[in-house]
Amino acid sequence: MSNIIESHNLSKVYNPDTIPVNAVSGVDLEIEEGEFTALVGPSGSGKTTLLNLIGGLDYPTGGNVQIGGVDITKMSENKLIDFRLKNIGFVFQAYNLIPVLTASENVEFVMLLQKTPKREREQRAIDLLTEVGLKDKLNKRPSELSGGAAAACCSCPCVGIEAPFYPC
């Protein structure tokens, strides 16, 4: 199997000009297509920083990241935004649901950006929310959901888009 993600000598230094923090130092990573990988470590060890780098949410201060053979660290911000939209499904630690949208509208949102036809995205949102036990909450806003229901709802938009890569 081929690697979907590779990093070489990946590093991130926060505040390089004041009080530098070496959050990620020289990480070489290989993740194969279809692989489920868990990243574990103590608080402050750099897990979120590493996920942000391999998910294209931040640029490294050294090394590179390749996703499907494409070096995302060389991309302009606009190209990276487009690449993320098409290729990466995020499940954020914080809920990141849009408060004015209903549960199903939240699930449809990324599919809308990807120009998925209306009928298809509506049906996919219903199917996904049903699968996580929220069939009766389709039209509820995030503030009307319990914490567990909001977390379950949060996992749906990323699966909805069928991205090849899901950092959580």
Q: How near is the Cβ of 14 to ligand ATP at its closest, in Å?
A: 3
Q: Specify whether the CB–CB gap between 5 and 66 falls below 8 A.
A: yes
Return the range that interacts with Mg ion (CB under 5 A); candidates 3-11, 39-47, 104-112, 156-164: 39-47
**Cα gap 118→60, rounded to integer Å:** 37
Q: Which residues of 65-103 are buried (b: 16+ CB within 10 A; e: fewer)?
A: bbbeeeebbebeeeebeebbeebbbbbeeebebeeeebb
Q: How near is the Cβ of 78 to ligand ATP at its closest, in Å?
A: 22
48 binds Mg ion (CB under 5 A): yes
**In what helix (H) or strand (E) does residue 64 lie, and over which residues does it extend?**
strand 62-67
Q: How near is the Cβ of 20 to Mg ion at its closest, in Å?
A: 19
95 binds ligand ATP (CB under 6 A): no
For tokens 């470590």, what's the residue? 41
Q: Name which of Mg ion, ligand ATP, none residue 43 binds, using a CB cut-off of 5 to 8 Å depending on partner kind.
A: ligand ATP
How many positions of this chain bind ligand ATP (CB under 6 A)? 12
41 binds ligand ATP (CB under 6 A): yes
Q: Residue 37: which region, alpha, beta or left (left: phi > 0; alpha: psi -120 to 50)?
A: beta
**Cα gap 164→5, rounded to integer Å:** 10
Return the range that interacts with ligand ATP (CB under 6 A); candidates 3-11, 14-22, 128-136, 142-150: 14-22
Strand pairing category for 70-71 and 21-32: unpaired
167 binds ligand ATP (CB under 6 A): no
Q: How near is the Cβ of 86 to ligand ATP at its closest, in Å?
A: 26
Q: How near is the Cβ of 19 to ligand ATP at its closest, in Å?
A: 9
66 binds Mg ion (CB under 5 A): no
Task: Measure CA 117 to chain center.
Answer: 22
Binding site for ligand ATP (CB under 6 A): 14-15, 21, 23, 41, 43-49
